[in-house]
Amino acid sequence: MSLEKRTMPRCSIIKALRSKGLIGDISLSVALCMPEAKFLEKYATRFPLESKHLLLSLYHERMGSKANKEKPSPSSDLL
């Protein structure tokens, strides 16, 4: 598993969902090991349209560039 391409984006989604009370405690190891399509379905696309777009944007943004390691994402505050 790639830290930049898998772990960090997924942890960002889980953190955002928890902060909004949209999910409770989950098994992080299960979330990290499931296939991408299933993860996105379970933790990003099943929420209302506004949240879904923000979550998907955050996920793809975190997967995209190394610059995200150096500074926090502004979209993570939008959730």
Q: What is the DSSP string of the chain?
A: --IIIIIHHHHHHHHHHHHTTSS----HHHHHHS-HHHHHHHHTTTS-HHHHHHHHHHHHHHHH-THHHHS--GGGGT-
Question: Which of the four pLDDT bands, split at 50, 70 and 90, describes residue 3?
Answer: confident
Residue 26 included in any domain: yes
**46-50, 54-58, 67-71: which range is least confident on average?**
67-71
Based on the structure, what is the number of domains in the chain? 1
Residue 78 included in any domain: no
Query: In whole numbers, what is the pLDDT of the chain averaged over residues?
Result: 79
With 0-12 CB in 10 A as exposed, 13-18 as middle and 19+ as buried, what is 50? Answer: exposed
Which residue range(s) make up the domain with 22? 3-64
Task: Look up the pTM and report it.
Answer: 0.66
What are the tokens at 15? 């953190």
The pLDDT tens digits of the residues spanning 21-41 come to: 889 989 999 999 999 999 999
Residue 18 included in any domain: yes
Q: What is the pLDDT of residue 39?
A: 93
